[in-house]
Amino acid sequence: MKLLFLTTEDSSFWSHRLQLAHAARKEGADVVIMTRSGAYRSQLEREGFRVIVWSISRKSLNPIRELRSFIQVLSTYRAERPDLVHHIALKPIVYGTLASRLCGGIASVNTLTGLGPVFTRTNMFVKVLRIFVTKLLRMSFGAVNGRVIVQNENDRELLIREGIAAEERTAVIPGFGVDTEQFMPRPERGGDPLVMLPARMLWEKGVREFVEAARELRERGINARMVLVGAPDPNNPGCISEQRLREWAKAKSVEWWGHQTDMPAILCQAHLVCLPSYREGCPKVLLEASACGRAVVTTDVPGCRQAVAHEVNGLLVPARDAKALGAAIERLLKDPELRRRLGARGRERAVNEFSHSVIVSQMMGLYEKLLEGKWSRTAFQSSEEKAEALTEA
């Protein structure tokens, strides 16, 4: 039984899909990862996974380069002959599904991690691009033995409404799962309250609104440290330049901490966490913040409201509204008891709805259905389920 993952970045596979790969291998699968070679290739190999280097660029539109990338996928599928392929994000989905069809119809799982700028921006170029992308996805999702995974119900409804994917071939699995044993609650630190936006430094993450809210709060005499955590993503058209980030930090509008690796410790330094994004799949950082017992302020948009319920484990505000964002931050800064209550409820939701064990079990169940019962899932049964199965036997 061979499972091949096709994804553009080894870094995102390491941070988002490693647990799933381990789980599949634990169930007896030969797991192969085809991805661009970056800083995490050697770490994946040290974990015991075979990595096939893929020459791919997320931002390239060069037809010759893209044809080469596709031919490499096709050649790999023919050589490896996987039983199941899992494509993650847009280019892997388009190239991988076409290659799987040309190889006789390999069973495939296609994960859209979010509909992104193509569906959030409104300029003419993006509108034209959206038509093209929609047609590509419609062709990609036509296989009978393929399934489409989205991370929130809004994205699923859009795919069905636009005729991009058939309802019976879609499923919602909220996010990638969070390690609730690594991301644990810790008491709030003393000193000035710290408000954190942890994300890639992209305009679509609401960084501009966060900076504007920070300025307004400071002008009104609200004493808080407003911190950006994350690096620019030069392969994304919405990338915020390092120069702009340094200018904000120099003007003391916000602090910029750059990329951080120990996110459990970083998140626990915050008194509350913000993600004023324009649209998401199901943002992992909000699930991690909730697992750390931190109250969250985010936007009332697809994906974010999947992770955060208003007045339950955080506050929802309109997208692109710096004033509403600042007001919600101010409310939580002035009410420590509300922060504590929202954070505690967020921890409960993270454990019960979004933990690795929950999400990986859902994904493994999907694999099993596609493979018509060839794959056992006993490793993901609870102790009660195992006892019941033994009793029935």
Distance CA 223, CA 203 (A): 25
Q: Which two tokens stand for residue 369?
A: 């259905």
* Residue 332 backbone phi and psi in degrees, to 5: -75, -30
Distance CA 112, CA 143 (A): 16
| Count of the separate structural domains present in the chain | 2
Distance CA 110, CA 180 (A): 26
Question: Domain containing 168 — which CATH number?
Answer: 3.40.50.2000
Domain coverage including residue 230: 194-353
Whether residue 221 sits in one domain with residue 99: no
CA-CA-CA-CA torsion sign (196, 201, 205, 207): positive
Residue 164 lies in a domain: yes
The secondary element (H helix, E strand) that includes residue 101 is: helix 90-102
Whether residue 304 sits in one domain with residue 292: yes
* Residue 247 backbone phi and psi in degrees, to 5: -65, -45
Whether residue 156 sits in one domain with residue 250: no
Whether residue 110 sits in one domain with residue 134: yes
Residue 188 lies in a domain: no
173-230: pLDDT as tens digits: 998 899 999 999 999 999 999 999 999 999 999 999 999 999 999 999 999 999 999 9
Per-residue pLDDT of the chain in tens (393 residues, 90 and over written 9): 899 999 999 999 998 999 999 999 999 999 999 999 988 999 999 999 999 999 988 777 788 999 999 999 999 999 999 999 999 988 999 999 999 999 999 999 999 987 766 666 667 777 787 788 788 888 889 888 999 999 999 999 989 998 999 999 999 999 889 999 999 999 999 999 999 999 999 999 999 999 999 999 999 999 999 999 999 998 788 899 999 999 999 999 899 999 999 999 999 999 999 999 999 989 999 999 999 999 999 999 999 999 999 999 999 999 999 999 999 999 999 999 999 999 999 999 999 999 999 999 999 999 999 987 565 554 444 444 444 543 443
**pTM of the full predicted structure?**
0.84
